[in-house]
């Protein structure tokens, strides 16, 4: 009897909770609709397209679980979809309502060299249309300055500085720590350049990895200097970076004046002075204070000018780590991406596919699942074209082997044709605290890999053979796709990373170009023209609550006011410290992925240093709040 009463109380409590959540969701939907309508009505009809970029530009924004957001796990900085930013800027070039394009880059999270060059090309179209582009920031790092170089006016705060440092950074090695705790890391790899595992087996770079990394950094830096030099000929970037301290002392110790003197910056001024200048060009805000201007924010402008989504070229994105299973946006789940490919091929209106890849790889099995789905689409007669973003390496290149043509940019990082596996064991460290073990086996492989008692030689040999088998398959896929001999692919493979220019010479890619060029090629191969030659994007939709939280997030009103947004450092030292914290998050993220992810990987960890650092969106996506955890537990019952 008592059990029945308790069960009934539980049923009533669950029912009450569901009714409460339904009511909350209903009122949130109403609030979101009212908020959007009011934001659209409040925005001026003409003025400046105001891009206040408070986070990174990415191929696919990370999805944050709606329950996590409600329960306190979803407080994140925004991420901006690359194609949305480009669409807004290019539309503004021909829109008579837009008088100028304004970049506020305080708090900008970067986005990688290829993405920056794509946005910069869109800014060039605005200037070619006779409209001014203005940029303002307290500190300009590499990505921010690449964008600013394409502006007609570069502004900086009087206490600011140009903090360009060039590509490159620290590689962390864990071998010393592993030795101290007496752990044992079993590594299985093919390819002398597969340096992803070097942090676990060495205390420094191998000579092969050092050579490859230097060449990659040099090529990226040359491309950056070429782009900036072409866009802003008066900027003496090389002279400034040769002796920034000397340039500063020559300007009386004033870093901002040194930047102006060498042509890196046009004018110094705070937000009010900058806003007043924009108001002269684009008009005064109706109800703003000094320095306010008629600002049309990115979200508002995208609502007014939605990109077309009814073309005949299906575009599927592979962004972030390639992992097994079904995953939300921002991570490329093998099942998720393969399902999107199947959805596209099931649509009779889709006549060609473009795979947009911005990934350092990950699970070899998940990469094969995606490639197999593309191969099935190809058998159905659909042309397949791959467009590479910042990084398309290892597993990111694996999925590209199904393509009829591969497009990349000179600054794209690709290749890393290699496979590795890693399994830790703790027999020595456990023995130090008195924990030992014995085994009883039916075969030499029973209970393996034994992380407590130690991995057996038989398992080591089998694991190495498995990695070599997958590497052989990788080599075969590349050889068949690129019309090369397996011996030649093995020669240029070995886990070696290549920048786009060299990859083109090695026949790993076919053409230089971005997503637009890839879509045009796919449409041509499918004999599409007019509206049918345009793209239709297939993205993970996420759950309804998550989509609702996205609607509720971000205030256009707060965006439209300079200095009223996300609190970010506004001096070079603090900004550099924040960036290092973000890179620390990336290290933790990568280590966790190695522990939680598959043992055998087609991954390029060294490529991750050339992507935007892991920000709060990625952390929040993996750090669910209490309500999300409770829901996940309920689903597991």
User: Looking at the annotation, which residues are catalytic?
Assistant: 194, 394
Q: Which of 602, 567, 636 is nearest to 364 (CA)?
A: 602
Main-chain phi, psi angles of 132, to 5 degrees: -75, 150
- The CA distance from 292 to 276, in Å, is 7
Side-chain-facing half-sphere of 434: CA atoms under 13 Å: 0
The owner of tokens 């901006």 is: 80
CA 581 to chain centre: 17
Torsion of CA 454, 455, 456, 459, to 10 degrees: 170
**Which residues lie across from 406 on neighbouring strands?**
386
602: DSSP letter: E
Judge contact between 135 and 159, C-beta under 8 A: no
Neighbours of 476 (CB within 10 A): 13
Q: Comparing C-alpha atoms, which of 385, 259, 398, 421 is closest to residue 334?
A: 398
Residue 101 pairs with which residues in a beta bridge? 49, 133
Report how far residue 100's alpha carbon sits from residue 108's, in angstroms, rounded to the nearest whole number: 20
Ordered strands of the 295-297 beta sheet = 267-268, 153-162, 133-140, 98-104, 47-52, 295-297
Q: How far apart are CA 204 and CA 583, in angstroms?
A: 19
Tokens representing 578 are 């924040």
- List of residues 6+ apart from 429 with CB closer than 8 A: 181, 182, 183
Helix-strand-coil percent breakdown of the chain, rounded to 5?
A: 50, 15, 35
Which two three-digit tokens encode residue 373? 């789905």
CA angle 570, 571, 577 (to 5 degrees): 100
Q: Compute φ and ψ for 108, nearest 5 degrees.
A: -65, 135
CA distance 294 to 271: 14
Closest-CA residue to 597 (of 366, 438, 303): 366
- What is the per-residue DSSP string for 90-117? HHHHT-TTEEEEEEE-TT-----HHHHH
Specify the DSSP class assigned to residue 454.
-
Both tokens assigned to 396? 């990111």
Distance CA 97, CA 255 (A): 37
Angle, helices 113-128 vs 207-231, to 10°: value is 10
Q: Which among 364, 429, 431, 434 is positioned nearest to 399, based on CA atoms?
A: 364
Which residues make beta-bridge pairs with 420?
Answer: 189, 601
Is residue 35 a contact partner of residue 552, using CB atoms and an 8 Å limit?
A: yes
Place of tokens 């950094």: 217
- In contact, 347 and 314? CB cutoff 8 Å: yes
Beta strand pairing call for 313-319 and 535-538: parallel
3-state secondary structure (DSSP) of residue 517? helix
DSSP assigned state of 317:
E
Q: Which of 83, 81, 79 is nearest to 56 (CA)?
A: 79
How far lies 118's CA from each of 123, 168, 387, in Å?
9, 21, 13
């Amino acid at each position: 009897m008592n059990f029945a009463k308790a069960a009934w109380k539980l049923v009533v409590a669950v029912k009450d909770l569901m009714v409460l959540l339904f009511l909350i969701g209903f009122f949130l939907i109403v609030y979101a609709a009212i908020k959007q309508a009011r934001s659209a009505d409040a925005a001026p009809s003409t003025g400046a397209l105001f891009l206040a970029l408070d986070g990174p530009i990415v191929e696919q924004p990370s999805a944050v679980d709606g329950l996590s957001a409600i329960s306190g796990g979803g407080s994140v900085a925004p991420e901006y979809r690359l194609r949305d930013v480009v669409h807004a800027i290019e539309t503004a070039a021909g829109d008579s309502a837009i008088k100028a394009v304004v970049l506020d880059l305080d708090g900008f999270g970067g986005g990688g060299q290829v993405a920056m060059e794509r946005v910069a090309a869109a800014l060039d179209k605005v200037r070619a249309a006779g409209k001014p582009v203005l940029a303002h920031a307290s500190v300009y790092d590499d990505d921010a300055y690449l964008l600013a170089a394409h502006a007609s006016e570069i502004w900086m705060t009087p206490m600011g500085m140009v903090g360009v440092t060039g590509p490159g950074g620290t590689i962390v090695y864990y071998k010393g720590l592993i030795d101290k705790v007496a752990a044992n890391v079993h590594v299985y790899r093919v390819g002398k350049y597969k340096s992803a595992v070097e942090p676990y087996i060495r205390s420094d770079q191998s000579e092969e990895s050092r050579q490859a990394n230097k060449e990659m950094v040099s090529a990226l830096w040359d491309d950056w200097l070429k782009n900036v030099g072409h866009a802003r000929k008066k900027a003496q970037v090389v002279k400034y970076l040769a002796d920034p301290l000397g340039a500063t002392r020559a300007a009386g110790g004033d870093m901002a004046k040194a930047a102006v003197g060498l042509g890196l910056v046009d004018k110094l001024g705070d937000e009010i002075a900058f806003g007043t200048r924009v108001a002269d060009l684009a008009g005064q805000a109706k109800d703003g204070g000094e320095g306010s201007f008629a600002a049309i924010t990115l979200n508002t402008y995208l609502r007014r000018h939605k990109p077309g989504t009814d073309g005949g070229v299906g575009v599927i994105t592979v962004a972030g780590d390639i992992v097994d299973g079904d995953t939300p946006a921002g991570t490329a789940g093998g099942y998720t991406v393969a399902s999107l490919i199947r959805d596209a091929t099931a649509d009779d209106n889709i006549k060609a596919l473009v795979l947009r890849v911005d990934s350092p790889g990950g699970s070899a099995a998940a990469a094969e699942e995606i490639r197999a789905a593309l191969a099935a689409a190809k058998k159905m007669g659909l042309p397949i074209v791959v467009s590479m973003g910042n990084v398309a390496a290892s597993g990111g290149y694996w999925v590209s082997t199904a393509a009829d043509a591969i497009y990349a940019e000179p600054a794209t990082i690709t290749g890393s044709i290699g496979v590795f596996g890693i399994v830790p064991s703790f027999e020595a460290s456990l023995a130090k605290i008195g924990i030992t073990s014995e085994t009883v086996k039916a075969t030499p492989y029973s209970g393996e890999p034994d992380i407590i008692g130690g991995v057996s030689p038989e398992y080591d040999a089998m694991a190495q053979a498995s990695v070599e088998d997958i590497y052989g398959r990788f080599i075969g896929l590349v050889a068949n796709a690129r019309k090369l001999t397996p011996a030649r692919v093995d020669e240029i493979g070995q886990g070696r990373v290549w920048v786009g220019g060299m990859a083109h010479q090695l026949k790993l890619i076919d053409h230089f170009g971005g997503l637009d060029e890839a879509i045009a090629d796919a449409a041509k191969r499918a004999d599409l023209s007019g509206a049918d030659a345009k793209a239709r994007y297939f993205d993970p939709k996420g759950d309804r609550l998550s989509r609702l939280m996205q609607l509720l997030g971000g205030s256009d009103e707060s965006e439209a006011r300079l200095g009223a947004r996300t609190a970010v450092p506004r001096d070079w030292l603090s900004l550099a410290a924040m960036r290092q914290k973000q890179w620390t998050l990336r290290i933790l993220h990568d280590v966790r992925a190695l522990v939680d992810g598959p043992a055998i990987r087609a991954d390029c960890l060294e490529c991750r240093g050339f992507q935007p650092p892991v920000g709060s969106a990625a952390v929040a996506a993996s750090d669910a709040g209490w309500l999300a955890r409770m829901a996940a537990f309920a689903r597991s019952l």
